[in-house]
């Protein structure tokens, strides 16, 4: 049994595009249903950094830092609002291997840099995983406006107040993990994205229109061990 993990998620950008639910459904495992807001499914890219990633119960000093980029969408199963991860790209080779072997997560090794510079987060990532389709993301993002509690905003709550995520393991099985954390604080955000090929790497045409951006300084998280979804 793999131990639950503790970590911090910091300097997150939620970059969100509306997508036809039928298009999203074609990309999902059969037992998941696209969740919709204003009649659309939503495809998101989330660059950020993990801090103090460690088995639950260990002091923060034993944790590691792990810059990351996720491609995800929003789903339901048995009426539980959840997240589905198409991929999770991260900097550390050993962490990627461990996440794949022991947590059954679709992690990919990438070269990633993230820094705070003059009021902006500058993020650059390039997938280097052997045998995978190439993908690259580069840009800067920053908070604007007044912070607000996601639970007080219908769209913000839809995007981030979810406490279960699903992934498809390498053997094709559907897995889920439950997470615990405080409610999210979000900011309206702006971004200058120079390069993004992660959507096409997962078979998505770039959606029409501009994405909706939110920024969060982050929060601390406890993630359960990965569990197998029983057949219906």
9-57 pLDDT per residue, tens: 999 999 999 999 999 999 999 999 999 999 999 999 999 999 999 989 9
Q: For residue 1, what pLDDT band results from cuts at 50, 70 and 90?
A: very low
In this predicted structure, the answer to whether residue 148 has a pLDDT above a threshold of 90 is yes
CATH of the domain at 196: 2.40.400.10
Quote the percentage of the chain above a pLDDT of 70. 93
DSSP 15-42: EEEEE-HHHHHHTS-TT-EE--BTTBEE
| Domain housing 174 | 5-228
State the Cα–Cα distance between residues 107 and 100, nearest whole angstrom.
Answer: 6
End-to-end Cα separation, the chain, in angstroms = 24
State the Cα–Cα distance between residues 12 and 189, nearest whole angstrom.
Answer: 10
Q: How many domains, in total, are found in the chain?
A: 1
pLDDT at 230: 80
Q: Are 35 and 41 in contact (CB under 8 A)?
A: yes
pLDDT at 42: 97
Tell which residue, 122, 142, 130, has the closest CA to residue 93.
130
Q: What is the CA 112 to chain-centroid distance, rounded? A: 15
Strand, coil or helix: what is 182? Answer: coil
């Amino acid at each position: 049994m793999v131990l639950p993990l503790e970590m911090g998620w910091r300097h997150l950008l939620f970059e969100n595009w509306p997508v036809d639910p039928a298009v999203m459904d074609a990309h999902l495992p059969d037992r998941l249903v696209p969740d919709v807001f204003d009649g659309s499914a939503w495809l998101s890219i989330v660059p950020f950094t993990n801090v103090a990633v460690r088995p639950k119960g260990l002091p923060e000093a034993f944790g590691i830092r792990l810059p990351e980029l996720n491609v995800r969408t929003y789903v339901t199963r048995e009426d539980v609002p959840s997240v589905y991860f198409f991929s999770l790209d991260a900097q550390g080779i050993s962490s990627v291997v461990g996440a794949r072997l022991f947590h059954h997560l679709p992690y990919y090794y990438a070269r990633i840099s993230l820094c705070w510079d003059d009021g902006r987060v500058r993020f650059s990532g390039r997938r280097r995983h052997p045998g995978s389709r190439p993908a690259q993301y580069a840009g800067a993002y920053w908070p604007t406006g007044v912070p607000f509690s996601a639970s007080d905003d219908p769209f913000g709550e839809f995007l981030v107040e979810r406490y279960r995520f699903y992934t498809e393991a390498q053997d094709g099985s559907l897995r889920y993990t439950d997470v615990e954390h405080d409610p999210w604080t979000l900011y309206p955000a702006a971004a200058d994205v120079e390069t993004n090929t992660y959507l096409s790497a997962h078979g998505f045409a770039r959606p029409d229109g501009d994405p909706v951006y939110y920024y969060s300084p982050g929060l601390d998280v406890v993630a359960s061990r990965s569990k197998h979804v029983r057949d219906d």
